[in-house]
Amino acid sequence: MTTAPSTPALSVNTHLRVATSALLLLALTSLHHAYGAMAFGTPWRLHVLLFVVPAAIVIAVLLYAGWVANTARSARLLTWAAAAVVFVVPIVLVGYVEGGYNHVFKNVVYFGFGEAAFHAIFPTPPYEMPKDLFFEITGVAQFPLSLLTTVLTVRMLRSFGK
């Protein structure tokens, strides 16, 4: 049986925090898109599952493998690979693009500058006017969760330098 390295840089808490945050972000976007598909009659929103399910599996496997790796070099490589996937899918694509642009910025434009400005930047479809509270809350919530995931992932990577 393989045991986890005893170095503090590779603590289970570090990897577990990143895994939890990234996987929660992917679960949130899955819920958000599934709800949007049903609420707005837009089944194409379910396309997100084609990206988030494989990404969740890859992230979980790589972070676990990085934690239980037999050598510091293997642990570093596996953890960096996991971080790369975390940065691309949950953080950038889901958090910054979907949560930040598609929801935070969209709501700022709509509530701050009005419906005409909204339609000029966010055509319908594919964008929905902010009229469904649950859809908007779950959409906006992706952004702060991605910021937390960013901080945790950077901390995890910096822990290798200590």
Contacts of 27 (CB under 8 A, 6+ apart): 56
The pLDDT assigned to 5 comes to 47
pLDDT recorded at residue 71: 92
| Confidence label for 51 from pLDDT (cuts 50, 70 and 90) | very high
For 116-146, what is each residue's pLDDT tens digit? 999 999 998 889 899 999 999 999 999 999 9
pTM for the model: 0.89
How confident is the model at residue 142, as a pLDDT?
A: 98
Across the chain, mean pLDDT equals: 92
Both tokens assigned to 64: 């676990």
pLDDT of residue 19: 96
Model pLDDT, residue 3:
52
Give the model's pLDDT for residue 162.
Answer: 56
In which element (H, E) is residue 144 found? helix 133-158
Token pair 């330098």 in the structure block, residue: 161
Amino acid 126: pLDDT: 85
Cα–Cα separations (whole angstroms), residue 87 to 19, 26, 28, 80, 145? 12, 12, 16, 10, 13
> pLDDT confidence of 160, banded at 50, 70, 90?
confident
**54-103 tens-digit pLDDT:** 999 999 999 999 989 999 999 999 999 999 999 999 999 999 999 999 99
